Amino acid sequence: MKKYLRLLYYLAFISLLASCMVLKSTVPEKLTSYVDPFIGTASSDYTIAGLGGTGNVFPGAVVPWGMISPSPRNSIDVNIWGHLGDAIAGYLHNEKYMYGFDQMHLSGVGCNGLGNILIVPSHKVSHNIYDHKSEYSKQKAKPGYYSVYLNDHEIKAEMTATTRTSLMRFTSENPSESLVITTDMYYNLRPAIDAEVTIVSNSEIEGYNKSGEFCGAGNQETVYFVMQFSEEAISYGTYNDTIISEGSNYSLGNKSGAYMIFSPEKNKQVMVKIGVSYVSVANARLNLGTEQQGFDFDKVYLAADRKWEDVLSRVLVEGGDERRKRIFYTAMYHALLHPNVFNDVNGEYLAMETKEVMKLTGSQKNQYTVFSLWDTYRNVHSFLSLLYPEQQLDMVRSMVNMAQSSGFLPKWEIAANETYIMVGDPAVPVVVETYLKGLTDFDIDTAYKYMLRSALDTIDNPIRPGLADYIKYGYIPFDTDVRLNGSTATSLEYYYADYAIAQLAKKLGKTNDYEKFLERSYGYKHFYDPETNFLRTKYKDGSFITPFDPLTMYGDHEEAEMGGLWASGAPGLIEGNFWQYTFMVNHDIEGLIELMGKDMFLKRLLQSFESDERFVMTNEPPMAYPFLFNYLEGEEWRTQQMALETLDKYFTDSPGGLPGNDDAGTISCWAIFTSLGFYPVNTITGDYALSTPVFDRITLKIDSNFYPGNQFVIQTNRNSPESVFIESKLLNSRPFTPYFISHDDIVSGGKLIMVSGE
């Protein structure tokens, strides 16, 4: 009998070992192998009702939060508003021709910007960028690397990057033609306003170019550069507009450019490394010399790959299919592109608006730029706070620095310029969330002072237009005299910011402020119409705007009829209709349920998912909808079902795999959280709504320098591969009944086990 039992134990052990080996075999050596930078570079696979957009991401080489990002340019003519089919990031999947490779990019945004310093390899000297175009093939892209073959020129182009420098390798396979490398200053993703290029020697170029007007805003940013070649050119020259000057080493003007000619030789290879800076040419040279010595392409690429492997490994997933892993890790990749490092290696950076040269002080390691806050406050900064607290703290310190020089926390900042794009006061919830989650090593008193300024100053306040009416009426009426983008949408964003201020005031012991701003945050109730059970835009006299159709949408950027207002949505809204805004009261879902009644809340929420014009993942306002069923006792199963259905409906692992503009990683972050099985509906409280993870085991690595834990494991035991619904939960071996989990629970470390069935 004992021998029989020993045999059973032995067989069981072998079976367990085999299963572990099978599990291990499904995990690749490198997480970067799951990342496909081409995902999101085409019009969305989701095109129902014409609602699909383009992800507007770029496939080029970049390191996490890197300043520079060399990437292919296969589109020159770009519409600044980001309509379907536009190559906002300079690249659109399957465009016919390649024009060159520019160095600076925005990921997933709705308007084009940056795209500075276009490098064009060919065999021809020409001022005309169209003369250099080439059909192309053999594209490859992975974190920190991109390559392509230019068919017409017989040139292989490869590129990689450090934080502030790029390295490109051009290999010519045409033995009879000289290799010509042109540096074009004009064709940024918004045409250059000014530029200067100087050929320092036959192996070095320096200069700058200036562009801006992001989404029609008045911003202008100057990018300085130093470019060095691995070989000496046999001749060179410059051009200005249509005039080419052979042997010239200097050109000034927005249509400037330079070219270097290298001797013909079979398989001739020339490398080009570029350092950039927003401060000066001297700093660009310092960045280049510090981050790259010599011309070692493989060394630079391997360092970039290691950086990506490190940041991706903060989340390890096991089980689940390979397709979902590609979607997940590519989403992580996209979520870690912005904001970008803004300071040079010596710590210098430009102050917000004043453009004074500042220098980092104290514990701050980096100043950041590109804060697309109307988007990213909803989930990106929650993700960063959870898994990348060091970077998140520096981002908040960056915003406080901006306030000290400009007078306000940022709204939509790029290169120390405020663009005032979108609505609300979105820096406030980011700063408050960070502080309340225990990341307090920044100047909270200064931050609070500027929060109050934007929330109370009715005279000179560019961040909160319409604030006087908001305070007077408790909402911004549609017939306000102030020009703004969506009176109701703006009001709803102010309510959330005021709620955030209230919670911070409570934490800081400022009772009067807490009570005042909490009361203001409930002003959304002014918009509730009990006859239609929707939030509706109102006039000053308290009447609702008529006629009312919750599906009504204006065309993008059309003028509304009243008050000189304009919005890209329904009357009073921006980028959405009333179906997509009625539940966007993330700070008080319980209050909205009480206002509507549980039955009507459930009815309207379910109806939202009946039509592709009611709920879409192509924009931010309704993105929390699948998780709102958790606020209704007994209906939590619907979140588990709806979250997974939404993920599978809108996200794929193809070039059209993003449902619309990725908005600096916000859409990708939705996919990340949903795949993990929890989502920050209300970012301020630190509570996440639970759903069913798509993976069997998830290990979150917690940074013990900032939090008490080391790792948090989420394990899902499924009754079958089709299991969707959570049947039971254990948190650290104890029964766990809520369908919410706190930030503190996760960062304290431990294990959440869920059993799911069909």
pLDDT per residue as tens digits for the range 93-114: 999 999 999 999 999 998 999 9
Q: How far apart are CA 457 and CA 462, in angstroms?
A: 10
Identity (one letter) of the amino acid at 138? K
Q: Does the pLDDT value for residue 643 go beyond 80?
A: yes
Buried b (16+ CB within 10 A) or exposed e, 45-69: bbeeeebbbbbbbbbbbbbbbbbbb
Q: What is the mean pLDDT of residues 237-259?
A: 97
Distance (Å, whole) CA 127 – CA 337? 33
CB 570 within 8 A of CB 577: yes
10 Å CB burial of residue 223 (0-12, 13-18, 19+) is buried
Lowest mean pLDDT among 111-115, 255-259, 283-287: 111-115
pLDDT of 739 > 50? The answer is yes
Number of H-type helices and E-type strands within the chain: 18, 35
CA distance 69 to 709: 34
Q: What is the pLDDT of residues 134-167, one digit of tens each?
A: 999 999 999 999 999 999 999 999 999 999 999 9
Q: How confident is the model at residue 266 (pLDDT cuts 50, 70, 90)?
A: low
Q: What percent of the chain has pLDDT over 70?
A: 92
Taking the alpha carbons of 665, 670, 673, 678 in that order, is the dihedral positive or negative? positive
Please count the CA atoms within 13 angstroms of the CA of 461 that sit on its side-chain side. 20
How would you class 275 by CB atoms within 10 Å of its CB: exposed for 0-12, middle for 13-18, buried for 19 or more? buried
Question: Tokens at residue 55, please?
Answer: 């992800």
Q: Which fold has domain 66-311?
A: Beta-galactosidase; Chain A, domain 5 (2.70.98)
| pLDDT of 47 higher than 80 | no
Q: Where are the beta strands (DSSP E) in 203-339?
A: 204-212, 220-229, 235-240, 243-246, 250-252, 256-262, 268-277, 315-318
24 falls in which pLDDT band (50, 70, 90)? very low
In which element (H, E) is residue 329 found?
helix 322-335
What's the mean per-residue pLDDT of the chain?
Answer: 92
pLDDT in tens, 660-708: 999 999 999 999 999 999 999 999 999 999 999 999 999 999 999 999 9
pLDDT over threshold 50, residue 48: yes
| Contact (Cβ atoms closer than 8 angstroms) between residue 503 and residue 436 | yes
Q: What is the pLDDT of residue 289?
A: 98
CA atoms within 13 A of residue 519's CA, in its CB half-sphere: 8
Tokens of 642: 């709806």
Whether residue 27 is predicted with pLDDT greater than 80 in this model: the reply is: no
546 burial (CB, 10 Å; 0-12 / 13-18 / 19+) is: exposed
Which pLDDT value is given to residue 569?
84
The SS3 call for residue 43 is strand
Domain coordinates in residue numbering, the chain: 66-311, 315-745
Q: What is the mean predicted confidence (pLDDT) over 436-454?
A: 98
CA 589 to chain centre: 26
Token pair in block for residue 259: 């070219």
d(CA 89, CA 95): 13
Percent of the chain with pLDDT over 90: 85
pLDDT at 28 over 60: no
Bridge partner residues of 123 (DSSP): none
Q: What is the DSSP letter of 163?
A: S
Fold agreement between 66-311 and 315-745: no
What mean pLDDT comes out for the span 739-758? 96
pLDDT score recorded for residue 76? 81
Which residues lie below 8 Å from residue 435, measured CB to CB, with a gap of 6+?
396, 442, 444, 447, 504, 507
> Tens digit of pLDDT for each residue in 216-237?
898 999 999 999 999 999 999 9
pLDDT surpassing 70 at residue 449: yes
- Is-contact 439 707, C-beta < 8 A? no
In sequence order, what are the residues at sequence separation of 6 or more whose Cβ sits closer than 8 angstroms to the Cβ of residue 619? 575, 576, 580, 660
The C-alpha atoms of residue 457 and residue 407 are separated, in whole angstroms, by: 11
Tokens at 78, concatenated: 């770009």
Q: Is residue 2 predicted with pLDDT exceeding 50?
A: no
Query: First vs last Cα of the chain: how many Å apart?
Result: 40
Task: Give 315-745's CATH code, choosing from 1.20.1610.10, 3.40.718.10, 3.40.50.150, 3.20.10.10.
Answer: 1.20.1610.10
Q: What pLDDT, on a 0 to 100 scale, did the predictor assign at position 9? A: 34
| Distance in angstroms (rounded) separating the CA atoms of residues 720 and 718 | 5
How many CA atoms lie within 13 Å of 27's alpha carbon, on the beta-carbon side? 15
Q: Report whether pLDDT(630) > 50.
A: yes
> What average pLDDT does the segment 415-437 reach?
97
Query: Read out DSSP for 364-431?
Result: ----EE-EEHHHHTTTHHHHHHHH-HHHHHHHHHHHHHHHHHHSS--SEEETTEE---SSS-THHHHH
Least-confidence region, from 192-201, 229-238, 263-272: 263-272
